[in-house]
Structure 1
Amino acid sequence: MLWTGVRTAKISLPEHGILPPNERGIKLGRSPSSFIPVEEILQEGAESARRHLFIEAFVSTGKVDNITMVMGLHPEYLTSFWKTQYLLLRMDGPLPYHKRHYIAIMAAARHQCSYLVGFHMGEFLQVGGDPEWLRGLRYAPQKLRNLNEINKILAHRPWLITKEHIEALLKTGENSWSLAELIQALVLLTHYHSLASFVFGCGINLEIDQDGGHAFQPPSPCSCDSSPGSDDGTNSSSSADAMEEVEVLMERMKLLQEYQLEEEGVTQEEMETHFEMEKRESLLVTPSDVVEHSLPPNVLCFVEDPEFGYKDFTRRGEQTPPTFRAQDYTWEDHGYSLINRLYPDVGQLLDEKFQVVYNLTYNTIAMHSGVDTSMLRRAIWNYVHCVFGIRYDDYDYREVNQLLERSLKIYIKTVACYPEKTTKRMYTHFWKHFKHSEKVHVNLLLSEARMQAALLYALRAITRYMT
């Protein structure tokens, strides 16, 4: 799971002037996130990298949105994310701009994400989209409606995508898609499915100027702050347990590193057994505190077949789809080159974004510094791919069980597979002594791992169609 060399993308964001010094302060009322106190997001506000990014956002759009504020905890990733999104939405490409925003709406609606649906409805109108389409999916042109099937499969069960799904879109007479258009649409769909994961995983609040809906809205501006009675891992009763959790994780990482040095090699059969055990165990990883939301009308109107959702890749008593063996169709050797051939530049930017988040480290864990976190990052990435049925034959999945405790697995699987079911309790119950920026990093990792998994299934289906 290591990338061979960084490919550098040529896209750069438009240059903007810098605001005068006395206008550079960014003040917030309530927190951009209902999970993270506003002070935590702003405490490193003087950092030049983040300040520059926030100013850039403010000058180009007139405001710094809540996603940017939270992603800004990791400036290197935010820059890479922006470049990709800028290319997808604003640069030359096969799809007209209004259709790109409509596809973003369709993708976000699958996960009931009012934040993204509302935002892109506004953007859709700004670039000249027909207001009639915003009454719901049945008011959109048939060509866009034909994307519905692949949208819902990509969002919930990407392993079901076949070359027949691709063929149906490319050969539908006057409503057929070109291969270039379809590649852009698939990247947009997977981008916004994974961004919905980030929105829910970090408890992103609606912007002040957005209508209410299914989003995290605390009762008052101070409700996000820690209080002596809140069970968020910061009070004294749970602090000792949280400290112990950090030390246990550190010790396990150390033992695994030593074990790898001494280990003469695990057989392929053993590796496969460990993967199958982890896959079966993931069936038991389900949240217990889910609150079902009724879909707001402005989201429901973009969803057909709302009952269709994530089902475990491996299910008791059912025929399991064949495991996707990563070495048979890799991002590096197959997916990247296919996208780059059909949609130049976006392959490079996606590759850069995957690499940035996978390799991102400050060499810290909670209060410890000088720590090699690569093993932990790999475990999170490979666990997400595992629940989507993708196996790396050179990875020992026992590491996942050693490094990811149950509450973290519940959080990861919920945010990656059915993000709309994420609760604040899930967020506060894993890694209680870790910094919020570290939890945001987990979110970025799992969102990108999820996007890559879905893209691999889609691109493999296109490759099969083409050959």
Structure 2
Amino acid sequence: MNVSAESFTSNPFHICNICQKVIRKKEKGVRVPRPFSSGPSAFIPEEEIVEASQVDPHTEQILAEAYSPSGHVDHLTRVMGLHPHYLESFLRSQFYLLRMDGPLPLHCRHYIAIMAAARHQCSFLVSLHVREFYRMGMCLDWLKGLQYAPQRLRNLNEINKILAHRPWLITKEHIQNLVKTGEHSWSLAELVHAVVLLAHFHALASFVFGSGINPQVDTQNANGFQSVYISNYCTCDLASDHHLDRDLSSTSPGTTDSVSELEALMDRMKRLQEEREEDEASQEEMATRFEKEKKESLLVGSGDMKDEVMPTSKVSRFVEDATFGYQNFARHGEDNPPTFRAQDYSWKDHGFSLVNRLYSDIGLLLDDKFRTACDLTYYNMASHEDVDTTMLRRALFNYVHCMYGIRYDDYDYGEVNQLLERSLKVYIKTVTCYPERTTRRMYDSYWRQFRHSEKVHVNLLLMEARMQAELLYALRAITRYMT
């Protein structure tokens, strides 16, 4: 029996206890914070997104090229359109992964996307690729849950969960188990395609939650499929904090404070640049600073979320071993992720050539996307113009890799503590490691004088840094298997 589209639809009008308290306070005349409930993002006012697309006609052209078969530009594309140059690179690589000739059949690609997005309960992405399944009209039984998929796809579950949460644990034995399993075996080319898909959609889930992408209803869909809502969530959850009621009476930081924070950041950047030119730390000191930052990153935000349990949802049918996650790593007292020296296995010198050899041209597309996100700049920082933000962009990218144990010998990790305030570190840790817990309060808590487009750029950097980190671990394991 085929699963029906309607079976994915939950009641989107559930009101949580927190919102009930907010409603009661509002009825008493107490002013309460309100999320942006309409438009592509729960964090970004829709008019800012619309204005950006009108100012830059190139954005409109790219958005038109990104139309789905239903004739709609999705919310994700509209938010990413705040950076049209990056969006073009992103769409090109994603189109190649999902549509162009490659080792894997088209329907399997979308199912792997569902498996990856479900690890983070990302109903936006799950629903998007479930709809693709309906359009193809094949293997619909697979949508009843992972246990209904072929064993060959189910065998990906182990590296799916490891890459999503603790990629440093992947070994050549994991690769061997997949390519030497008899009738269910994978070729190396197929496995590389699958690994790139998994990493792509894990990282994309980080962008979806980090940018507050709103659920989307496809009213044109002939099957009547609607977005997969997380059944136990109130519709406020993306835009609010689980402790919203606690802070209803508090005032937000004043403009003076946020302006002084901006000036302080500018001063630190200037001072670091001067110190870098005057004196260079020894390799031993650089290694010590990395280990210190790596250990401290494990504690960032961990206490705030230690006791939280994510509600089950309709997308959980695509997940096995749901308790496996990054947070468990810190809680159970496992050793720190072993240091992965980028000089021993880097994207530029090793990963790129391997992935390009086994899955033709994808390495070129990924490399362009990584470079575009990292090099993207408008030489602005909030209200300041003609600013070189290279130092700040590298700190954001390298901090993500630091959390995954990846060290660059030529980078001074002391800069991370100088440039990234604690609220920003909490945001980065959440978006990267457990994105489904991101709230608007976290988004609003850092860089309060910066434009929304600048914060979206932060999310692009976090997404690409995460994807590259996963790929480095996976491709290194494949290399070790091959040798």
Q: How many residues align?
A: 430
Q: CA separation in 2, counterparts of 1:396 and 1:315?
A: 28
Q: CA separation in 2, counterparts of 1:135 and 1:308?
A: 22
Correspondence 1:44-193 to 2 at 5 A: 44-46=52-54, 47-58=56-67, 61-193=70-202
Tell me if structure 2 keeps the 8 A contact 1:205–1:217: no
Secondary structure at 1:301 match in 2: helix
Tell me if structure 2 keeps the 8 A contact 1:385–1:391: yes
Deviations 1:151-206 (Å, cap 9, x if unpaired)? 00000000000000000000000000001000000000000000000000011011
Tell me if structure 2 keeps the 8 A contact 1:109–1:303: yes
Query: Which residue does 2:394 correspond to in 1?
Result: 378
Tell me if structure 1 keeps the 8 A contact 2:53–2:82: no
AA at the equivalent of 2:300: V
Correspondence 1:38-437 to 2 at 5 A: 38-46=46-54, 47-58=56-67, 61-209=70-218, 210-214=226-230, 238-263=254-279, 265-286=280-301, 292-296=309-313, 298-311=314-327, 318-437=334-453
Matching residue within 24, 28, 32 for 2:40: 32
Per-residue deviation at 1:116? 0.7
Tell me if structure 1 keeps the 8 A contact 2:326–2:434: yes
Q: CA separation in 2, counterparts of 1:113 and 1:317?
A: 28
Query: Which residue does 1:18 correspond to in 2?
Result: none
Tell me if structure 2 keeps the 8 A contact 1:313–1:389: no
Q: CA separation in 1, counterparts of 2:352 and 2:208?
A: 26
AA at the equivalent of 2:93: T
Deviations 1:297-325 (Å, cap 9, x if unpaired)? x3111100000001487789644442101
Q: CA separation in 2, counterparts of 1:52 and 1:149?
A: 40
Secondary structure at 1:52 match in 2: helix
1:149–1:241: structure 2 CA closer, same or farther, 3 Å change rule? Answer: same
CA RMSD of aligned residues (A): 2.4
AA at the equivalent of 2:50: L
Tell me if structure 2 keeps the 8 A contact 1:287–1:414: no
Q: CA separation in 1, counterparts of 2:393 and 2:320?
A: 36
Q: CA separation in 2, counterparts of 1:55 and 1:103?
A: 26
Q: CA separation in 1, counterparts of 2:377 and 2:209?
A: 23
Secondary structure at 2:465 match in 1: helix
Deviations 1:196-251 (Å, cap 9, x if unpaired)? 0000001101113333513997569xx99xxxxxx99xx98521111111101100
1:334–1:113: structure 2 CA closer, same or farther, 3 Å change rule? Answer: same
Q: Any gaps of 5 or more consecutive residues in structure 2? A: 1-35, 219-225, 241-246
Q: CA separation in 2, counterparts of 1:171 and 1:344?
A: 23
TM-score (norm 1): 0.87
1:443–1:213: structure 2 CA closer, same or farther, 3 Å change rule? Answer: same
Q: CA separation in 2, counterparts of 1:399 and 1:157?
A: 25
Q: Which one is further off, 313-322 or 250-259?
A: 313-322
Query: Which residue does 1:447 correspond to in 2?
Result: 463
Q: CA separation in 2, counterparts of 1:217 and 1:350?
A: 36
Secondary structure at 2:326 match in 1: coil
1:436–1:101: structure 2 CA closer, same or farther, 3 Å change rule? Answer: same
AA at the equivalent of 1:372: D
1:312–1:295: structure 2 CA closer, same or farther, 3 Å change rule? Answer: closer
AA at the equivalent of 1:41: I
Query: Which residue does 1:8 correspond to in 2?
Result: none
Percent of residue pairs identical: 63
Q: CA separation in 2, counterparts of 1:448 and 1:31?
A: 25
Q: CA separation in 2, counterparts of 1:312 and 1:391?
A: 23
Tell me if structure 2 keeps the 8 A contact 1:292–1:421: no
Secondary structure at 1:252 match in 2: helix
Tell me if structure 2 keeps the 8 A contact 1:280–1:314: no
Per-residue deviation at 1:349? 0.2
Q: Any gaps of 5 or more consecutive residues in structure 1? A: 1-27, 225-230
AA at the equivalent of 1:148: N
Q: Which one is further off, 269-278 or 38-47?
A: 38-47
Q: CA separation in 1, counterparts of 2:361 and 2:158?
A: 27
